[in-house]
Structure 1
Amino acid sequence: MSEKLSRSRRLRWVVGVASAALVAGLVTACGGSTSGKSDTVYFGVSGPKSGNSAEYGRLWQQGFDLALDEINAAGGIDGKKVELKWEDSQSDPKQTVPIATKFVGDNSIIAELGDFSSPASIAASPVYNRGKLVQYGFTNSAVDFTKGGDYSWSPSITLDVYQERNVQWVSAKAKKVSVVYLETDWGKQAFKYFQQYAKEKGIEIAYDSPILPESQDFRPVLIKGRDAHPDAFVHLGYGPDGALIVKQLRDVGFDGQFFGGQNTPQFISLAGTSAEGDIVNGVFTPADTSKKVQDFVTKFRAKFDTDPGDFNVYAYDALNVLVKAAKHGGATRDGVLKGLREVKDFSGIGLGDSFAFDQQTRRPTGVKPIELVLQNGKFVPTGSK
């Protein structure tokens, strides 16, 4: 009796294991395991669709959508349609790590795009590198981002280059400045480089202060900066906080030159006339008369009834670069990596006509920011009429 019971239990155990394996197989198949039979190629996007940085996710979405229209109309990748799998990270490091784990476990995803902020991306880099999934941090300017490993790549101009150019442009208009910067790792690094290059150029930093990204009232800090009697005020941060800074600067009576904010519709709208004459680092302007840029602007306006800005261009270029890499190396994780390593003629709206990635830094060579000034509600190259 005991032996029969034992055999019965063993049989139930075997059947149970087999059933569990079958269910797991079905779940894996439904979850997007790469089998070579799918007619769709997926890229994962880790980025903000809600929270304080949601505006950037919206701008990314527009850039991605236009790129997808063109890529798929041209046959996708080897005849396969290209689609995105989005996860809303709120650009929060606590959320980017589980998203990275999810993307690495989804074998249908051949590369990842994002996240928006460098700290959010850097937190997830170990997961992507262990999982051998390319992490393409296309807005990550922190110098240390690509040091995360062989699978961390970025086309973004680094903070040291940005701030060297920023100081160059500031020095043409001011010898004494007050500076505010975000109290984040990114903000502290930006200020470190600004401070370094300002010293080299003989610019006096009369006052400096970190600011909290979530703050709404910066006037106590701005009054101190105003009372240092600077020639100009420099803001090292993002669009939403930059808009508040410049409006409140005007409220407390500073009417001098402002350097800060970002080339985004949100900044221009929120800052209003307070930001007229503002100077920023940029990678793109609709005022560029080249045929490539004007073709892009025309298509973007037709689809979204507005002018594109930097963050639309970042996303548009990023997806096109990864698709070109996949076409070269194959629509697989290894293929994307191979393409990034071997293609020598990547291009983009904000990246120039031709570039290759430096294989040590995993960033493009020769890409430089441009100086833009806000005139009549639009950012145009300085010197434009």
Structure 2
Amino acid sequence: MRTPFRTLAAIGATSALLIGLAACSTTASSNAGDAAEEPVRFGIALPDTGNSAQYGEYFRQGFDLALEQINADGGVQGRDVELVFEDTQADPAQAPQVAQKFIDDQSILAVIGDFGTPATSAASQLYQDAGLVQFAFSASGGAVTDPGDFVFATWVSQEFEAPRLAEFASQTGESAAVFYHDTDWGQETFGYFQGGAEEAGLAEVYSTAYDPAATDFRPLLLSARDANPEVIVLISYAADGALIANQARELGIETPIVGISSIYNQQFIELAGDAAEGVETLSYFTPESEDPAVQQFISDFTTKHDVDAPNDYAIRAYDALHIVAQAANDAADLTRQGVRDSLDSGATFASVLYGDFQFDPETRRVVDAEQTPLVIRDAAFTIK
């Protein structure tokens, strides 16, 4: 049974923070008291502005609920948690500058973020060299944690997810047209997808990389149509994937569409409109889950934010903050090194997406997890 999320940060005791600080002098006692009252601070790297700002909004929804719950349950080692937000625009050129800000601020015990593999990876080596945890909850690139032992990730690597997508698509058709981001993430994912497609017997009759910021995919779609695929596969984010689906239907292309898990987002349905109907994907989360802990989370989230269902990216942010807070709460020393060691201790962490899990000791990430096949029906993701 999963651990209730509201109790994740309520295990530690404030006395642990004061070990070694006791002294005979009144000054030392006063300093210890001051330290105990200071908040535990985590940095948040996210896109508040720019083309990916919508994802930053989703992240904030998840962080807001998690922060409220953690502090209501006693915070971390008896101290309130405080979040420090910095806007990267999910831009690989800006992410290192934000990383340096966090590194220079010695009060920051860990950094959670960024959005996407490119921006996340652009800052990873800086965090590693500085000995500051980078908790990458929204980056699925296979090499995300390669820079070293201060980098952790909770999105399952595309090494596992992309072949599974290929097998899933092969259940819909024997030949595929594949659209994938013309980015390091997209190209890497497509490479893993090709390996899975070969194993699943899925013929690749057309494939194209595309600029995720583009707005007209009609020429590519017409070329895909001419290849006569039985299924269209989207290695996309929600916004660009929705635009491809919409334009395909506008062109009269009725080929079934299957998308990677990153399209599991209400934004996809809103932007694709009627074209979203029948699109299939795989997800680690479904509102139809019978798990009481998941249903409690959904109730808490929808009540706080007045939405019908939580967004996948909000869930990932919520999980990330709870996990880092749990690690800090259990840390022998409430320091940057202590948080890292606690994350890497082999402990079991609770999450909405994966239930109870442990980080792989070699990669420091969630290496695999069960996904649920979903299909969009009546403007909602439902179990297929």
C-alpha deviation, 1:116, in angstroms:
0.7
What per-residue deviation string (whole Å, max 9, x for no partner) do you get for residues 22-73 of structure 1?
Answer: xxxxxxxxxxxxx835521111011111111111111010000010110000
- Kindly state the Cα deviation for residue 227 of structure 1 after the two structures are TM-superposed: 1.1
Shift >3 Å, 4+ stretches? 35-38
In the other structure, the counterpart of 1:286 is: 287
Other-structure match for 1:367: 369
CA positional deviation for 1:366? 4.5
The equivalent of 1:186 in structure 2 is 185
Instruction: Say which SS state the counterpart of residue 125 (structure 2) adopts.
Output: helix
How far residue 360 of structure 1 moved from its aligned partner, in angstroms, is 0.8
The 5-angstrom pairing of residues 67-82 of structure 1 reads 67-82=66-81
Secondary structure in 2 matching 1:94? coil
Contact 2:234–2:241 (CA<8 Å) still a contact in 1? Answer: yes
State the Cα distance separating 1:343 from its structure 2 match: 4.6
Inter-partner Cα distance in structure 1 for 2:160 and 2:370: 8
Residues 121-143 of structure 1: per-residue CA shift (max 9 Å, x gap): 11111110111000001111100
Q: CA deviation at 1:216?
A: 0.5
1:342 aligns with 2:341: no
Partners of 2:233 and 2:257 within 8 A in 1: yes
Measured against aligned partners, the alpha-carbon deviations of 1:154-212 in whole angstroms (never above 9, x if no partner) come to 01111021112111111111101111111000011111111111111111111111111
Q: Distance in 2 between matches of 1:239 and 1:66?
A: 23
Q: Assess if the C-alpha contact under 8 Å between 2:156 and 2:368 holds in 1.
A: no
Given residue 109 of structure 2, which amino acid in structure 1 is its aligned partner? I
2:94 is paired with a residue whose SS is helix
Offset at 1:112? Answer: 0.4
Q: Distance in 2 between matches of 1:36 and 1:112?
A: 21
2:158 aligned residue: 159
Query: How far apart, CA to CA, are the structure 1 residues paired with 2:296 and 2:228?
Result: 45
2-side partners of 1:263 and 1:64: how far apart? Answer: 19
Instruction: Please name the residue that 1:213 is paired with.
Output: 212
Paired amino acid for 1:297: I
Partners of 1:342 and 1:256 lie apart in 2 by 48
Deviations 1:315-348 (A, max 9, x none): 0000000001001114321121121111522010
Match for 1:316: what amino acid?
Y
| Cα distance in 2, alignment partners of residues 247 and 366 from structure 1 | 32
Q: Which amino acid aligns with 1:302?
A: T
Amino acid at match of 1:125: S
Question: Which runs of no fewer than 5 residues in structure 2 stay unpaired?
Answer: 1-33
Partner of 2:358: 356
SS in 2 for 1:295: helix
Which residue in the other structure is 1:378 paired with?
380
CA distance in 1 between counterparts of 2:370 and 2:50 reads 30
Partners of 1:134 and 1:333 within 8 A in 2 = yes
Match of 2:17 in 1: none
Q: How many pairs does the alignment contain?
A: 347
Correspondence 1:4-43 to 2 at 5 A: 36=35, 38-43=37-42
Alignment of 1:251 with 2:250, yes or no, is: yes
Cα distance in structure 1, aligned partners of 2:165 and 2:368: 17
Offset from partner CA, 1:75-108 (integer Å, 9 cap, x none): 1012211111111101101100011111011011
2:164–2:196 contact (8 Å) kept in structure 1: no
Normalised to the residue count of structure 1, the TM-score between the two structures is 0.88
CA distance in 2 between counterparts of 1:51 and 1:316 reads 22
Percent identical pairs in the alignment equals 39
Q: Which amino acid aligns with 2:306?
A: D
The one-letter code of the counterpart of 1:264 is N
Gaps of 5+ in 1: 1-34
Note the aligned Cα RMSD (angstroms). Answer: 1.3
2:7 corresponds in structure 1 to none
- Structure having the larger proportion of residues in helix: 1
Distance 1:62 1:123 in 2: 25
Q: For residue 318 of structure 1, what is the aligned residue in structure 2?
A: 320
Q: Which residue of 2 aligns with 1:142?
A: 141
- The secondary structure found in structure 1 opposite 2:195 is helix
For residues 207 and 146 of structure 2, the distance between their equivalents in structure 1, rounded to whole angstroms, comes to 29
Which runs of structure 2 are paired with 1:111-122 in the superposition (5 Å)?
Answer: 111-122=110-121
Counterpart contact for 2:346–2:361, Cα < 8 Å:
no
Which runs of structure 2 are paired with 1:46-65 in the superposition (5 Å)?
Answer: 46-65=45-64
The reply to whether residue 301 of structure 1 matches residue 302 of structure 2 is yes
Higher relative contact order (CA 8 A, sep 6+): 2
C-alpha separation between the residues in 2 aligned to 1:322 and 1:366? 20
Counterpart AA for 1:78: Q
Following superposition, the deviation at residue 117 of structure 1 comes to 1.1
Moved more, 203-212 or 252-261: 252-261
CA 1:112 to 1:91, structure 2 compared with 1: closer, same or farther past 3 Å? same
- 1:272 paired with 2:273, answer yes
Query: Does the Cα contact within 8 Å between 2:53 and 2:89 map onto a contact in 1?
Result: yes
SS in 1 for 2:334: coil
The structural deviation recorded for 1:358 is: 1.4
Which 10-residue stretch deviates more, 35-44 or 77-86?
35-44
Match of 1:94 in 2: 93
Matched-pair contact (CA < 8 Å) for 1:165–1:369: no
Aligned to 1:350, the other structure's residue is in SS state coil
Kindly state the Cα deviation for residue 365 of structure 1 after the two structures are TM-superposed. Answer: 4.7
